[in-house]
């Protein structure tokens, strides 16, 4: 992985050992989060800037919390406009911020490769918090950490990712991470939302959600975005719900319970019904908690931290 370069740009560039190290470190930090005093001095004196060029609530808060728990100084820069519209280039924005002597940059941007672009141009450690439809590595890491709460190992596990794969950075990071950890990955969604030649990554594709549910241990359900309807990718939310929505009725037909995950924010009644989201097999809120621990681990390791025994 690019830990040797000091960046986390995507799980495509990671190897199994890196992922295992992050997951193990995060487990230690998760323990910190259960303490009455949830703060450790690990990153004292380090400054992290959260550069968010896209609206984000949970990822931004999660990173910010992780930074504060580690005693880093953090600064937030949010702009819902793309930098180009503002008249300042991404590179200039980043260079300006770097001139203020920043150690790490967490970036979320609409353009695939934005994190790679910064990594090639700045001296700071770069953490990709989502670049277009490319990668969202900390999300996939927290998803894997959450899977391990219910399952002993990811190796050999059957995992399905359901929804709009074409526009999903969560899907791509999960695919890379899960395959490296030895899972079998199936993608399911409308054919208009499955990108071409994705099978070459080593995944299966299936368009029929009931067939998929019968075969898997874990499902990760992606948020469906209404604007894709206008783009002609599906006819209506109702039709999407009827053919791809995960409902209690669908799950009741299965011979065994399966683990339910969703990166959020969820559209209740669209890709997931409320009773499923709130069921005992749903780990959606555990994902959120684990998100902080994973981001603490990534920040810690990128800052040069060794294997930790907190």
Partner 1 sequence: MLKKSRVNKGTFEILPKKVLLKNIRVIDNAEKLNAVKSVVIRNDKIADILDKPPASFDGETWEDKNFVLMPGLFDMHVHFREPGREDEETLETGSFTAANGGFTGVACMPNTDPAIDTQEVVNFIREETRDYLVDVHPVSAITKAREGKELAPIAEMVEAGAVAISDDGSPVMNAELMRRALEYSKMFDIPILGHEEDTNLSKNRHMHEGFYSTKLGIQGIPALSEEIIVARDIMLTEFTGGRFHVCHISSKGSVELIRQAKAKGLKVTCEVTPHHFTLTDQVVESYDTNTKMNPPLRSDEDRQALIDGLKDGTIDAIATDHAPHSIEEKEAEYINAPFGITGLETALGLITSELLDTKILTLKDIYDRCVQNPRKILNLDVPKIKTGENANLTLFSQKENWTYNDSISFSKSRNTPFTNHPLTGRSVVVINKGKIFKTPPLK
Report the interface residues with partner 1, using CB under 8 A: 12, 82-84, 89-91, 109-114, 116-117, 121, 131-135, 166, 169, 172, 195-198, 200-201
Residue 89 buriedness (CB in 10 A; 0-12 / 13-18 / 19+): exposed
Alpha helices in the chain (DSSP H): 16-33, 58-69, 83-86, 90-99, 114-121, 137-150, 169-180, 209-213, 227-230, 237-244, 248-252, 274-277, 284-302
Minimum CB–partner distance for residue 45 and partner 1 (Å) = 29
Nearer to partner 1, 133 or 301 (CB): 133
Minimum CB–partner distance for residue 149 and partner 1 (Å) = 28
Minimum CB–partner distance for residue 85 and partner 1 (Å) = 10
Minimum CB–partner distance for residue 54 and partner 1 (Å) = 12
Nearer to partner 1, 152 or 197 (CB): 197
**Closest to 198 in 3D by CA, of 227, 164, 222, 221:** 164
- Give the position of tokens 């981001």: 295
Minimum CB–partner distance for residue 195 and partner 1 (Å) = 4
User: Is the peptide bond prior to 8 cis by the omega test (within 30 degrees of 0)?
Assistant: no
**Pairing mode, strands 184-188 and 158-162:** parallel
**Residue 116 Cα distances to 15, 17, 119, 135, 190, angstroms:** 18, 22, 5, 11, 30
Cα–Cα distance for residue pair 275/26, rounded to 1 Å: 30
Cα–Cα distance for residue pair 231/212, rounded to 1 Å: 26
Nearer to partner 1, 25 or 83 (CB): 83
Nearer to partner 1, 78 or 110 (CB): 110
**Closest to 176 in 3D by CA, of 167, 168, 185:** 185
Nearer to partner 1, 172 or 272 (CB): 172
Nearer to partner 1, 172 or 292 (CB): 172
Nearer to partner 1, 6 or 113 (CB): 113
Token pair belonging to 157: 């596990």
What is the Cα 8 distance to its own chain's centre? Answer: 12
Minimum CB–partner distance for residue 162 and partner 1 (Å) = 18
Minimum CB–partner distance for residue 105 and partner 1 (Å) = 15
What is the Cα 15 distance to its own chain's centre? Answer: 17
Minimum CB–partner distance for residue 63 and partner 1 (Å) = 20
Nearer to partner 1, 115 or 160 (CB): 115
């Amino acid at each position: 992985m690019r830990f040797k370069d000091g960046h986390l740009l995507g799980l495509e560039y990671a190897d199994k050992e890196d992922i295992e190290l992050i997951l193990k470190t995060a487990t230690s930090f998760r323990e910190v989060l259960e303490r009455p005093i949830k703060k450790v001095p690990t990153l004292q004196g380090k400054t992290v800037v959260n550069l968010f060029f896209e609206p984000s609530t949970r990822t931004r808060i999660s990173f910010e919390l992780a930074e504060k728990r580690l005693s880093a100084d953090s600064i937030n820069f949010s702009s819902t406009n793309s930098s180009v519209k503002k008249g300042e280039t991404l590179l200039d924005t980043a260079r300006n911020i770097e001139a203020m002597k920043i150690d790490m940059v967490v970036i979320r941007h609409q353009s695939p490769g934005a994190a790679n672009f910064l990594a090639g141009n700045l001296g700071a450690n770069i953490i990709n918090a989502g670049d277009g439809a490319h990668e969202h590595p900390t999300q996939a890491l927290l998803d894997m950490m959450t899977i391990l709460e219910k399952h002993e190992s990811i190796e050999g596990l059957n995992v399905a990712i359901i929804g709009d794969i074409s526009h999903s950075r969560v899907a791509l990071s999960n695919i890379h991470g899960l395959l490296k950890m030895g899972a079998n990955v199936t993608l399911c969604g409308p054919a208009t939302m499955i990108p071409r030649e994705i099978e070459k990554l080593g995944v299966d594709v299936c368009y029929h959600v009931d067939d998929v549910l019968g075969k898997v241990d874990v499902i990760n359900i992606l948020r469906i975005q209404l604007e894709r309807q206008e783009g002609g990718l599906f006819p209506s939310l109702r039709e999407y719900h009827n053919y791809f929505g995960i409902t209690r009725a669908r799950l009741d037909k299965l011979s065994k319970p399966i683990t339910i995950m969703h990166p959020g924010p969820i559209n209740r009644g669209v890709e997931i019904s409320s009773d499923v989201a709130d069921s005992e097999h749903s780990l959606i809120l555990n994902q959120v908690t684990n998100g902080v621990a994973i981001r603490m681990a990534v920040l810690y390791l990128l800052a040069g931290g060794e294997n930790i025994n907190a």
